[in-house]
Amino acid sequence: MTPKLPSARKRGRPSLNGASSLPDYPTQRALHAAQRIHQACGMWPTEFCKGFVPQTWGIRLIESLSALVSLVVAAENVELDKVRHRLKVFATSHPSSDRPRLRKSDISKVRKWLRRMGIDTKPTRRWNGRGDDQMDDQVDEDGTADSEGTEANSEPVDEIIALGPREHLGEYEDEDEEETEEDP
């Protein structure tokens, strides 16, 4: 049986490059995440995950991968190939799979590994305008109010902070102490 190739244009989405070899992303949000991956590293998600492509490109999976790739490209002390290799190792370790398949849990494991290397990958809370540290479902990433307060806008936003080597962190801690001594 010949698989039917989906047409992105019928759903109002632009074709990525005219090639039907790219997967059909479930939503515009997933498509944008795929484009961010391509922009950050020059590879589409299927190229980046060659040999351990997920069974389906879910929105949260591809957005997590996009955040991870952006983080690694911005960091100076880790190489993208090492991250790809680590993702593949985790994807290969799933016992119930007939072949390596990327899962969101694999991305979480790599982010944990990056945190141990001194790269902050923890999700941060959105600014809600009240000054407290709680998420506001009504505020989008650009700070505009969402009248519906949909669940899609309630997820935390990942902030990329590359701390650098641990030996340099002591310099900044001393500066913080000096600033607090001067404050009344």
Using one digit for the tens of pLDDT, what is the confidence trace for 77-102? 899 999 999 999 999 998 887 889 99
In a domain, 115, yes or no: yes
Tell me the CA distances in angstroms from 169 to 73, 140, 144, 163, 166, one per residue in order: 21, 33, 35, 8, 5
Most confident of 3-12, 106-115, 160-169: 106-115
CA distance 52 to 36: 20
In a domain, 154, yes or no: no
Whether residue 104 contacts residue 64, with contact meaning beta carbons closer than 8 Å, is answered with: yes
Residue with tokens 């080597």: 165
159 or 25, greater pLDDT:
25
Please tell me the total count of domains within the chain: 1
User: What is the pLDDT, as a whole number, of residue 25?
Assistant: 83
Handedness of CA 50, 55, 58, 64 (dihedral sign): negative
Cut 0.85: pTM above it: no
In a domain, 168, yes or no: no
The CA-to-CA distance between both ends of the chain, in Å, stands at: 76
In a domain, 164, yes or no: no
Whether residue 36 contacts residue 29, with contact meaning beta carbons closer than 8 Å, is answered with: no
Residue 95's domain comprises 23-119
In a domain, 63, yes or no: yes
Phi-psi category of 125—alpha, beta or left, where left has phi over 0 and alpha has psi -120 to 50? Answer: beta
Angle value at C-alpha 138, between 133 and 139, nearest 5 degrees = 70
In a domain, 41, yes or no: yes
In a domain, 135, yes or no: no
